[in-house]
Amino acid sequence: MLDWIIEPLSLNFMQRALMLGIVLGVLCAIVGSYMIVQQMGMLAHAISHSVMAGLPIAYVMGMALSFGALIAGVISALVLYLIESRSRVKTDAAMALILTSFVAIGVTLVSVLPGANRIDLVHILFGNILGVTMTEVWWSLAIAMIGIILVRLFFKELLFYTFDPKGAQASGLPVHWYNASLIVAMTVTIVVCLPTVGALLVVALLVAPAVTAYLLVKELHQMMWVGSVIGALSSVIGMYLSYYLDAPSGATIVLVAFCFFCLAFFLSPSEGLLVSLWRQHKRSKLNDADKVDQPLVM
């Protein structure tokens, strides 16, 4: 058993992958907790695909692909906000329009711009955590630390805005800035996670640990703590399973996170499906026993 744990740690690429997985598990849980409460899951899905539009431009201009992805993600969120605030178009329709349009822009630019066809779209879509460098690990750690510090500094304001945006606006808080900050934080997290799980699976890594914690605890700060543990464990267990089963790393991490969600869905002490059914069964048995014990009235 000990050899099973130690063997992958002797490989440098596994060490980097495990460190990055733990960092991103924590970061995704923190940002994902706000996403779940704010019901922004589909927005994250739209942004995760929209970042593809910035990759060819960044590649041709000689910039980092992550920078182009970040700019495209923020622009897509701003365009989405403009459409839903200045027209009768509903949010779900606007998200579908933005998602497909920005993906189409990315695919077209890859074909049209000279040299852009060298971009590995498979790597962008599905990720390759085993190929990350130590520089990417340190950058991800720095971003995660900045995010944690900002959340700690503005936790009360974010909590107020998250659960009562109208009350926060009436009290004078700059709610538009908080909304924009959450969108930027979500976009940065998506961009950082691209090397790990890719654009297709990054939303699952954002949502699964947070929504699992949502079923287990009641407070937002507890969601972040529990979600961080679940996210980190999902990354570590997923990496080990990927190593020994020779399976795709990103997909394995997401599947482990989904398994944690299933456990919480069925066995959560407060909201688990099987626990609720068991309580209903016990309650019905007690009611039947009370009826039997009641004396007959002549």
CATH code of 131's domain: 1.10.3470.10
pLDDT band at 145 (very low <50, low <70, confident <90, very high): very high
Which long-range contacts does 147-152 make (Cβ < 8 Å, 24+ apart)? Answer: 147/27, 147/30, 147/31, 147/185, 147/188, 147/189, 148/26, 148/30, 151/30, 151/224
Q: Is residue 1 part of a domain?
A: no
What is the number of structural domains in the chain? 1
pLDDT band at 65 (very low <50, low <70, confident <90, very high): confident
Q: Is residue 32 part of a domain?
A: yes
Burial class (CB in 10 A: 0-12, 13-18, 19+), 152: exposed
pLDDT band at 288 (very low <50, low <70, confident <90, very high): low
Q: Is residue 5 part of a domain?
A: no
- Domain extent for 15: 11-290
Q: Tell me, what's the pLDDT at 291?
A: 63
Q: Is residue 162 part of a domain?
A: yes
Residues with Cβ within 8 Å of residue 180, at least 6 apart in sequence:
none
Q: Is residue 114 part of a domain?
A: yes
pLDDT tens by residue, 232-258: 999 999 999 998 998 888 889 999 999
Look over the chain and give the mean of its residue pLDDT values, rounded to a whole number. Answer: 85
Q: Is residue 194 part of a domain?
A: yes
Q: Is residue 295 part of a domain?
A: no
Q: Is residue 73 part of a domain?
A: yes
pLDDT band at 290 (very low <50, low <70, confident <90, very high): low
